[in-house]
Each structure stands twice: as structure tokens, then as C-alpha cells.
Amino acid sequence: MKQENELKYYEEVKDWNFDKFEIETQSLTKWDLYEELKEKTNQNSKILDLGTGGGEKVLTSFPQVKEILGTDFSKEMIKTANENLKKSGKKNITFRIMDNLKMDVPDCYYDVIVARNTVTDPKQIYKALRKEGYLLIRGVDKYDCWNLKLMYGKGQAFSDEKPISIIDYENVINAGFKDVELIPIHVREYFKSKELFIEFLKKVPIIDDFSELEESCKMHYNKDLDEELVEKYIKENTYNGKIRLLRRYYGIVAKK
């Protein structure tokens, strides 16, 4: 049920490009997924990117390697990714539809598997990695935009007892990975205008009431924002004329 509802949401979104929001980002954590990816690959590496969305990050931020496969379970996202790929002219990248929980890729094939803001099955990922290969995860944690969620009394993973970062961390260890690191990532994001901020909130599932847990059927996406609460948040979180969101992500690095 959760995955079906999530699929419907992403089919409607169709792309995951945030350039138009002109977000100014201030990272408070010295960890970057793409730097980590660069360090762990070379020109002969093969990368699998799970939850690739519209392929924007694969096309602009991934290193130059032998082969990259980007997958997503949304056909609309993959349609956007292939359109973006055609514009880029890159030949070492392929995009296709795949369910992360039913991976149909070769065993012991990839040097690095990347999962960004998506559900994963670490046991399947472990099988798909070559010996000494790496899993890199970057996700959105429970306490992301927590002051905004408290104001609304709901939001992504708001009622989950255990943060998804801990669940992922435990699942990766239990899958047999070694040298597993969990990195809390703290970021400040600034928006230049109320209009851009509201448009952003309507695009992303921050204050939508749903659980991150796969077994939970609680998932409700609501794009009708409470204007009074939005105004209150903006008033309390404007600094030098810009609206601030306190983001809480997490990274996981693990070796097979």
C-alpha cells in the first residue's frame, strides 16, 4: 500500500529538479555524497543509482566512469530521465524502470551502488555488489524541518518511533556489510521569497502526513497548505530577508 501511494505521488511530480527554487545551501556537515562517490570510483567503475528520479544528479554530479545505470519505479521519472539524457549527449549512462525491492540486476556486478531518498533492500544490494564494493545512502531523516513539522503537528515520519536512519543502518549491518558508518547531515536552506518557499513545500513531501515505515499504510499527501501557519513560520524563520529551513539528512557508507 505504501509503495503504491508513493508511486502515484512521484508519477505526478515527474521530475526532481530544484533549480527553479534558487535555494541557497549552507552545509554544517563535512560529508558530501558526490565527493564520497568520486573517491570510491575510477574510469573503469560501474555504478547503480537507485531512486534516480529524473536523472538530474546522475547527469550533473556523478563522476566519469565506465557505466552508470539509474533506476526508478516511476515510469514518468524515467521518461524525464531519458529526455534529460538525450539532451546531455552522454553515452555511458542508461535509465530504466526498476522496483528497488525486486532488483533485477546481475549479481556481483557493480563497484558502487547509490541510494538517494529511496526505499532499499540491503540484502539485494549486497548481492549486486562486487567483492569490496560500496553502498552509499543519502536520505531524509525524521527530524528534517522539525520546527515546521511541530507547527503543523504532522509530516514525513513525524509519528515514527524509530528514525529511518537507524532502521537503514541496522538493515545494512544485518545484510552482512562491514565498515558501516552512519553520518548525521545538518544543512540550512534559504529561500529568497515567500512564493518560492510555498511552491517548494507543495512539491516535496515534508509536511505530508505519512510514515517512512514500509509496513505502515499511513500515507497522505496534502498540497493544500494552511496559509496562517505558513505565514507564522515565515515570520519566525526569516533571516536577512530569506526564509530558512533546517534540514536533517543522513548518510551511510558500507563496504561488502
Q: Could you report the per-residue pLDDT of 132-160, keeping only the tens digit for each?
A: 999 999 999 999 999 999 999 988 889 89
pLDDT of residue 7: 47
Q: Could you report the per-residue pLDDT of 218-229, keeping only the tens digit for each?
A: 444 455 688 899
pLDDT of residue 222: 52
pLDDT of residue 204: 85
Residue closest to 57 by CA, chosen among 90, 27, 30, 34: 34
pLDDT of residue 2: 44
- For the chain, which residues score pLDDT lower than 50? 1-14, 215-221
CA-CA distance, 129 to 110, in Å (whole number)?
Answer: 5
- The domain locations on the chain are 2-255
Fold classification of 2-255 (topology level): Rossmann fold (3.40.50)
> For the chain, how long is the longest CA-to-CA vector?
54
Residue 51, phi-psi category: left (phi > 0), alpha (psi -120 to 50), beta (remainder): left
pLDDT of residue 227: 86
Residues 6+ apart with CB under 8 A from 198: 225, 230
